[in-house]
Structure 1
Amino acid sequence: MMGNRRKDRSVLNTRFLISCVICMNLFSPVVLSSGAHSLWNAVRILDNSAAETNEVVPPQPDIPAGTGSGQKLEAEPVDPKNIWAVLVAGSNEFYNYRHQADVCHAYQILIRNGVPPQQIITMMYDDIEHSEEDVTPQNFIKVLLGDQEGLKGVGSGKVLQSGPNDHVFINFVDHGAPGLVAFPSDELHAKDLENTFKTMHLSKKYGKMVFYLEACESGSMFTNLLPAHWNIFATTAANGNESSWACYFDDARQTYLGDVYSIKWMENADQSDLEQETLQSQFLVVRNETNTSHVMEFGDKRLRDLPVADFLGYSETRLTLPEVELDAVASEDVVPSILQRKLARTQNKGKRQELKSQLRRLYKMRKLVTAQMMDIIEQVTGHGQNMTEELQQHLLHSRHELSNYDCYEKVARHFSKQCYSIAKNPYVTRKLYLLVNMCELGMDSQKILNAMNATCNHRGIVGIY
């Protein structure tokens, strides 16, 4: 998909080689324990020597920019000193390199546009600001709430110190599932995020806030949970029941360097006059160019009329980007795609056997997760006695919208504790819609928990991709 753009390998490699130097100069809190020694996507925009001039003409809006709830907001210039940002990459391991690269790219945009570095808070796996143990949902919430005491001695200790006259920009990138996003060792549920926003609103931690979320099924984090009067505008990489997509595969590094939704909004920010580009016009460009998933918008849609500069800052610099093939794949296909590419690339007999073994294990573990989820369903519905073929097909193939948060959060947390860690086994996120279906069909949550207790015996397993 999306393979009609020319891939300039010399440009790709040039940017990778210079990235470590620039990244350490402008974004010192980045050191990946997974062995990633540079963040190509963060600085690929800064070297224009090999780029061709290609004027990008965004698609014409098909929704009026002023469409939204309530009175249209009057745009007033915002001093970058009144902008705060929180950037989070919730994953780890080299397979997920693209998540850290996305966050570094976002950091470069903010720095170039004059946002003070002391007002940009980053959370990344095993970096200088936050170690592996520090990148947690609990600490993310403390950052948003400005809880300095709660983060004393944790990483840099930086928290939002914004107030009612400030604009806040949040960018979160990681794996997701219905009603949750993952961190390295835990998950953040939608209701916890909603409650955090409510507290921020009531305590006047911001004047206006924008949240860009890159994750599978990310739309489920905001559906029916973001009241317009909270002055928050959010967009997501996908709706509530589909994958987000990785892109920019690099043969030399053998990993994906970006995510489609993320690179679309960031490359738009790189090339546009952000005092003229509104949140709405950027959203429409990203939605139209992201043809791998359904980019969604939520919250106070009056904010769409505001310039992007109000949240990302402003610079007169416009960057010209090279044509690079996207090589887009669904998030769940990233690891098998990488392994298959490596297999096709090598002629070494020993290495080929090792890669084939990794692929066999990957598919074997996926089958195990699927089989155990089926066992749980059968126990809840009566070992097939009460589960008709129609009900079985409905459970397996329908996608109910999440509304019974109490049931779902309870069973999802228990599944993560009793069966497989959701955060440490990304493939598991692809099966959590089954828990949503059971809860939405009114199946008893305690019965679901009992079925998990009777079925699961693989709590220590990690790395199911």
Structure 2
Amino acid sequence: MQPLASMATRRGLLLVLVVALCEVSALGRTPLWDGNIMMPTGEGHKGEEGTRWAILIAGSAGYWNYRHQVQAESIIADVCHAYQILKRGGLKDENIIVFMHDDIAYHPENPYPGTIINKPDGPDVYQGVPKDYTGSDVTVSNLYAAILGDKSAIEGGTGKVVDSGPNDHIFIYYSDHGGPGVLGMPNPPNLYADDFVGILKKKAAAGTFKELVIYLEACESGSIFEGLLPEGLNIYVTTASNAVESSWGTYCPGMYPSPPSEYGTCLGDLYSVAWMEDTEKENLKKETLEDQYLIVKSRTSNHNTYRSGSHVMQYGDLKIDVEELERYLGFDPANENVTKPGLSELSPVNSDIVTHVPQREADLVHLKHKFYNAKKGSLREANAASELAKTILHRRHLDDSVRLIGELLFAGEDALQKLGAVRPAGSVVVDDWACLKNMVRIFEASCGPLTQYGMKHMRAFANICNAGINSSRMSLASLEVCKISTSVDLGIWSPVTSGFSA
């Protein structure tokens, strides 16, 4: 008989040999993974590679008055530009879902009907953009259904949804006006943070994506996720601003660089332009989400000086930011030879040159430009003066109404401080979201539409809720301040007709 030690040695060698033979056999059938992800779009989610999906949302519209159209132009231009980038990156239209009101390209104020540009002397970005959900179909309910892949819940539009599977990567880009805890939509209701994050949690629980990335352009956009979006959902977010500040417009009249003289509007939003222009020149097989975050953060903050601009933020699963942008935005072969990006490429700008404007001031920039460049004594000058006066009066009405309501509710003592109180970083803006939505409805019933500018007061309504003030007291205060009818916009707001009259 052989010694036990010798038998154990032979058995060990035999086991090693069997394992080696299995590995050789496997290598003969399937090559080793080289670390690169291969995701051909349009092949569905049946294979292991997965598909890239994208949802692009332009929340603004021309609404009932041109003064909002100027703000909508840059937002829709942002979304159209984003579509062109994804298309060049290899995503197919069947995997890109576009929400936009689509009232800008042929608006009477557009100097080149049927075209939209996103930068001075830039190309037309409107051509070829899918019109999946336009006009009255751009709603929060349709957006949520599209994210969840719920075709049965869609009303209108093409019916296109994110029909994703567990290996897929999803990119969501949302450009709009916002306020603490809220994002605007061209059709009511607006999007509230608690509902949106709830939809993201539901999508994650369904297991219908591998990773999801969100880029969000709006004022106070950080408040949509602050204290609400947990880790562990495989969702990564960057926002144009933190929870308490405005985002910024760029390529505006009278600034550097300015749009062509025939354009009287801001052409883009700073954060959006920053990530898109970076994407267009980089090799997305090498640039990571973190690389782009740092580059966009620097540009959006005026190269970390914050002389103008905002704080770009990150939320969710930050570990995802080590991944290449190709997984979400595709890859443009024209940039194959571009080296890995670096912040050293960014050069400081002259601090004496005005380059950006807070997003909420973009309409004033447009109207002032329109007034000062009109022929003296002309109808155009008179119309611009009227629009400017309406806008200023409308803003004053909203600001004064909220202030006076606060003074009534808080007995005048430190009312402004209580209305504007900011919770510690990482805290949610309001404890009771149902209360917040109700306070907005009560205000609008007595004082007129909050509108995009009025979204800045969402924190005031949140703090009214956080103070435990009930709807009855809010109703009485709103009626007392705004009375039966309120003069706004050089017209009359009537809570009876719920509209404006000249």
Give the TM-score range, shorter chain: 0.7 to 0.9
1:312-342 CA deviation, whole Å, 9 max, x = no partner?
Answer: 011221399xx99984111111111111111
Q: Deviations over 1:334-358 (max 9, x none)?
A: 1111111112212231222322222
Task: Please report how far the alpha carbon of residue 155 of structure 1 lies from its aligned counterpart in structure 2 after TM superposition.
Answer: 0.9
In structure 2, the partner of 1:377 is 406
Equivalent residue for 2:418? 395
Deviation at 1:194, TM superposition (A): 1.2
Q: 1:416 to 1:109 in 2, by over 3 A?
A: farther
Other-structure match for 1:233: 236
- Whether 1:221 aligns to 2:224 is yes
Distance (Å, rounded) in 2 between the aligned partners of 1:326 and 1:151: 44
Cα distance change on mapping 1:131 and 1:253 into 2, 3 Å: same
Per the alignment, residue 87 of structure 1 pairs with 56
* Contact persistence 1:177–1:430 (CA under 8 A): yes
Per the TM alignment, residue 455 of structure 1 is displaced from its structure 2 partner at its CA by 3.9
Partner SS, residue 242 of structure 1: coil
The equivalent residue for 1:294 is: 311
Q: 2:263 aligns with which of 238, 242, 253?
A: 253
Report Cα offsets for 1:395-432 as digits up to 9, x if no partner.
3554346131433233234434553334xx21111222
- Asked whether the 8 Å contact 1:80–1:313 carries over to 2, the reply is no
The aligned runs of 1:397-412 (5 Å cut-off) are 397-400=420-423, 402-406=429-433, 407-412=435-440
Secondary structure of the residue aligned to 1:234 is strand
SS of equivalent to 2:319: helix
> Which position in structure 2 is the counterpart of 1:6?
none
The one-letter code sitting in structure 2 at the alignment partner of 1:87 is L
Deviations 1:216-250 (A, max 9, x none): 10000001111111000000001111111111132
Q: Given the alignment of the two structures, is residue 108 of structure 1 paired with residue 84 of structure 2, yes or no?
A: yes
- Pairs within 5 Å for 1:12-411: 76-81=36-41, 82-93=51-62, 94-95=69-70, 96-126=72-102, 128-151=131-154, 154-186=156-188, 187-249=190-252, 250=259, 251-291=261-301, 292-318=309-335, 327-350=355-378, 351-381=380-410, 386-388=411-413, 391-400=414-423, 402-406=429-433, 407-411=435-439
- Report the CA distance between 1:130 and its aligned residue: 2.1
TM normalised by structure 2 equals 0.71
Residue range with higher mean Cα deviation, 75-84 or 207-216? 75-84
Kept in 1: contact 2:90–2:330 (CA 8 A): yes
1:426 aligns with 2:452: yes
Q: Are the equivalent residues in 2 in contact too, given 1:421–1:462 (CA < 8 A)?
A: no
Contact kept, 8 Å, 2:297 with 2:312, in 1: the verdict is: yes
CA offset digits 1:258-299 (Å, max 9, x no partner): 100001011111011111111011101101111201110000
Measure the CA separation in 2 of the matches of 1:462 and 1:89: 26
Change (3 A) 1:143 1:417: farther
Amino acid paired to 2:160: K
SS at match of 2:249: strand
Q: Does the 8 Å contact 1:247/1:326 carry over to 2?
A: no
Offset from partner CA, 1:374-400 (integer Å, 9 cap, x none):
23212322xxxx332xx2241355434
- Unaligned runs of 5+ residues in structure 1 are 1-73
Residue 437 (structure 1) aligned with residue 437 (structure 2)? no
Query: SS where residue 242 of structure 2 aligns?
Result: coil
Secondary structure of the structure 1 residue equivalent to 2:152: coil
Does the CA contact (< 8 Å) of 2:59 and 2:185 recur in 1? yes
Match of residue 126 from structure 2: none
Displacement of 1:447 after TM fit? Answer: 2.4
Distance 2:230 2:459 in 1: 25
Structure 1 contact 91–174 (Cα < 8 Å) conserved: yes
TM-score normalised according to structure 1 size: 0.76
Gaps of 5+ in 2: 1-33, 42-50, 63-68, 104-130, 253-258, 302-308, 339-346, 486-492
Amino acid at match of 1:255: T
Partner of 2:20: none
Give yes or no for contact 1:248–1:326 (8 Å, CA) kept in 2: no
- Structure 2 CA distance for aligned equivalents of residues 116 and 266 of structure 1: 18
Q: 1:450 to 1:197 in 2, by over 3 A?
A: farther
Count of matched residue positions in the alignment of Structure 1 and Structure 2: 379
Please tell me the root mean square deviation across aligned C-alpha atoms, in Å: 2.5
Secondary structure in 2 matching 1:255: coil
**2 CA distance for matches of 1:392 and 1:163?**
51
Q: Is the Cα contact below 8 Å between 2:249 and 2:358 reproduced in 1?
A: yes
Alpha-carbon distance between aligned partners in 2 of 1:301 and 1:462, rounded to the nearest angstrom: 47
Contact 2:217–2:271 (Cα < 8 Å) also in 1 = yes
Secondary structure at the counterpart of residue 251 of structure 2: strand
Q: 1:135 to 1:462 in 2, by over 3 A?
A: farther
C-alpha distance in 1 between matches for 2:275 and 2:326:
13
After superposition, the C-alpha distances for 1:95-130 in whole angstroms (9 at most, x for unaligned) are 120111100111111110101111000011047432
Change (3 A) 1:129 1:231: same
Residue aligning to 1:66: none
Q: Is the 8 A contact 2:403 2:416 kept in 1?
A: no
The farther-off stretch of 188-197 and 120-129 is 120-129
Q: Which runs of 4+ in 1 moved over 6 A?
A: 323-326
Instruction: Determine the C-alpha separation between the residues in 2 that align with 1:241 and 1:462.
Output: 31
- Percent sequence identity is 33
